[in-house]
Amino acid sequence: MTPGPLGQVGLVLALSFALLGLLLAGYAWWARDGRYVEAAKRAALFSLLGALVAFFALEWALLTDDFSIVYTAKNHSTKSPTWVKFATLWAALEGSILLWATFQALYTWLAARRLRDYWMAPGVLAVLFGIQVFFFAVMLFVTNPFLPVPNPPTEGPGPNPLLQNHWMMAVHPVLMYLGFVGISVPFAYAVAAMLARRYQTWIATTRWWTIVAFGFLTLAIFAGAWWSYEVLGWGGYWGWDPVENASFIPWLLLAAFLHTALVQERKGLFKPWNFAFITLAFAATVFGTFLTRSGVVQSVHAFTEGAVGPVFLGFLLLVLFVGFGLLSRVGSEVRDVGGVELLSREGLLLGGALVFSTMAFVVVLGTLYPLFVEAFTGDKVSVGAPFFNSVFAPLGAVLLFLMGAAPVLPWGRVDAWARRAFLWMLAGLVLGLAAALALGATVGVALGVGLFLYNLVSAGAQVGRAVAARRRQGWGAALLGYLTQGRRHFGAQVVHAGVALAALAIVFSQAYRVDVQKTLNIGETAKLAGIEVRLGRLHAFDEGYRFVVEAVVEAKGIGTFRPRLNYYKTMNAPLAAPSVRYGPTENYYFILQAFDQDAGKWATLRLVLTPMVYWLWVAGGVIAFGLFYMLLPLGRSRRSVPGGEVAA
């Protein structure tokens, strides 16, 4: 047995059992017979085993340098370090679809194990198996990584060097796919709910999955920003590149869904919104893949392989058709009775969800606009970061404002406590704004500081109120009781504080960025952005799979930096690997721009100072912590916290 045939067998097994599961679930629905549901659940396990066989077959080929299949022949190199070999599985198109499909099989199996509701089960299983059939069929018939190579080479080009430059690249795609695939479970439940005409319970049942998916997506986006910052050598973390946008659109729509789902869970309102948002969020994951894998838009890190594009476009249309077709069929049954008070928790939550979905619309528009312009006028244009920034700044400010206000309000009305809390929050806003203006900040930065304090006051007031409501047990027990039983409430406060911190870090890093360049001779000292910098030496060495030119730079009072240029055989341009040092307020980022190739006597250095960027990474961790804290198994979470209702 060699990896090639083994992988083929795995794919065929996975596809067959997914197809079987789909048929069994469909028959169970048609015949109203629970025994077929049980059989379909068992098919999920065998489909997962098939997917794992294919996964391990590809890892086997990569780790043993087997070039007899197309995937290794195109993307593998014997010279890569072991971790790169392992991660090469998701470094190109076919492998990343295999990873996606394997996670899909895993989630289907996990979701099937937790399925209790026999009205919903056939629909949920049919949708999940349907998605699985799509992915395994794409792999077998469109982009098969296991196709044999007639004359296997003995050495290949290796994966894209950009992906080998940082360990984060082994983690980021895995997190991203865990998030993408996670959205399919609430989507499947939504379809099943519309089929079974049971519109309420699916929200509470899928809460766990939604938060898991949102947590992984959040981690993946922050990991991607970090990679962009530490690897791409341009001194930024977010460039509104189509691939970045492709990951951001589902995140925004899932955020909208999370907040309206909360209202349905507690008040039974917004049912149509929830069906629409979850359909759009899942469709956005397919749209992102279509966008970046079909070559319709240019991007720094799109794989651009044409054949997959139309297939994903078709699947995208199918998802939208199923979601919105069913919604229009049951539309009259799910309509909300009565109006929504604007100044109430549900009113502001809907407002927030609308801001999130507007942001998603803006990202889609900005990404696709060049295509429209070219189709209608023939002009080649691009929409740059200034457009996205100019729209996201005001929308973000509105969002931050709503984020602080919504959770202090009670359902359906405004009460005295909310009024008092809001006055304190406004005081925080004004204080931050005035202090920052007095210190010479721009209005935008001052508003960022003000909104940060506003949200901290909001979170603090809510936590304080919830703990104080339990004070009869004694303060220690009150805090412990709140942290365990009120963990959804506490987790939400942590997430919101993290978002406020991230916004503050983005504002500062954008407003006070310094970017300077200078050419220095060896041994020469000069001032860059007020820092005394000495170019110590310049040396070159071979690391086997790449050739390195490194500059040793001493920055007075800060330390030694080693920015380098990495030369890979497959690329005719070197990749600049920056040398980064994080501090609580300032962040130093040295790039080796150019050097004297004849005699090694001089080098051009670039120094980028990005204040507070460190806190952006911290904020990512805080948000993820808050999300996963909600899911901690610490005994039963109470539906409401005394003195403060559950906020998430």
Residues that bind other proteins (CB under 8 A): 298, 342, 358, 362, 365-366, 369, 373, 379-384, 386-387, 390-391, 394, 517-519, 565, 572-574, 593-594, 602, 604, 606
State which amino acid sits at residue 237.
Y
* Distance of alpha carbon 404 from the chain centroid: 23
Q: Which two three-digit tokens encode residue 507?
A: 């504002």
Minimum CB distance to other proteins smaller for 394 or for 633: 394
Of 5, 93, 114, 18, residue with least CA distance to 54: 5
Minimum CB distance to other proteins smaller for 117 or for 341: 341
Minimum CB distance to other proteins smaller for 416 or for 599: 599
Minimum CB distance to other proteins smaller for 527 or for 639: 527
For the bound state, the minimum distance from the C-beta of residue 361 to other proteins, rounded and expressed in Å, comes to 8
Of 546, 541, 542, residue with least CA distance to 79: 546
Beta-bridge mates of residue 551: 538
For the bound state, the minimum distance from the C-beta of residue 335 to other proteins, rounded and expressed in Å, comes to 17
Cβ(556)–Cβ(531) under 8 Å?
A: yes
C-alpha Rg value of the chain to the nearest Å = 27
- Give long-range contacts, CB 8 A cutoff, 24+ apart: 379-388: 384/240, 385/239, 385/240, 388/240, 388/362, 388/363
For the bound state, the minimum distance from the C-beta of residue 456 to other proteins, rounded and expressed in Å, comes to 28
Of 431, 444, 453, residue with least CA distance to 512: 444
For the bound state, the minimum distance from the C-beta of residue 159 to other proteins, rounded and expressed in Å, comes to 16
Q: Any idea which residue has 């942290």 for tokens?
A: 483
State which amino acid sits at residue 8.
Q
DSSP code per residue over 468-498? HTTGGG-HHHHHHHHHHHTHHHHHHHHHHHH
Sign of CA dihedral 518, 519, 522, 523: negative
Minimum CB distance to other proteins smaller for 106 or for 516: 516
Minimum CB distance to other proteins smaller for 300 or for 632: 300
For the bound state, the minimum distance from the C-beta of residue 593 to other proteins, rounded and expressed in Å, comes to 4
Minimum CB distance to other proteins smaller for 169 or for 565: 565
Beta-bridge mates of residue 539: 550
Exposure on the CB side of residue 633, measured as CA atoms within 13 A: 0
Minimum CB distance to other proteins smaller for 600 or for 642: 600
Minimum CB distance to other proteins smaller for 40 or for 256: 256
| H or E segment and range at residue 548 | strand 547-555
For the bound state, the minimum distance from the C-beta of residue 501 to other proteins, rounded and expressed in Å, comes to 26
Cβ(145)–Cβ(74) under 8 Å?
A: no
Q: How far is CA 600 from CA 374, 540, 562, 573, in A?
A: 46, 10, 16, 18
Minimum CB distance to other proteins smaller for 351 or for 498: 351
Q: How far is CA 37 from CA 18, 134, 195, 282, in A?
A: 13, 21, 16, 24
Q: How far is CA 438 from CA 165, 363, 443, 597, in A?
A: 43, 35, 11, 50
Beta-bridge mates of residue 244: none
For the bound state, the minimum distance from the C-beta of residue 137 to other proteins, rounded and expressed in Å, comes to 30
For the bound state, the minimum distance from the C-beta of residue 574 to other proteins, rounded and expressed in Å, comes to 5
Of 498, 492, 502, residue with least CA distance to 616: 502
Of 242, 261, 129, residue with least CA distance to 184: 129
Alpha-carbon distance of 517 to 592, in angstroms, equals: 10
* Secondary structure (3-state) at 609: strand
For the bound state, the minimum distance from the C-beta of residue 562 to other proteins, rounded and expressed in Å, comes to 19
For the bound state, the minimum distance from the C-beta of residue 509 to other proteins, rounded and expressed in Å, comes to 19
For the bound state, the minimum distance from the C-beta of residue 564 to other proteins, rounded and expressed in Å, comes to 13
Q: Which two three-digit tokens encode residue 181?
A: 């695939």
Minimum CB distance to other proteins smaller for 300 or for 443: 300
For the bound state, the minimum distance from the C-beta of residue 594 to other proteins, rounded and expressed in Å, comes to 5
Q: Any idea which residue has 């789909």 for tokens?
A: 22
Minimum CB distance to other proteins smaller for 395 or for 480: 395
Minimum CB distance to other proteins smaller for 16 or for 519: 519
For the bound state, the minimum distance from the C-beta of residue 383 to other proteins, rounded and expressed in Å, comes to 6
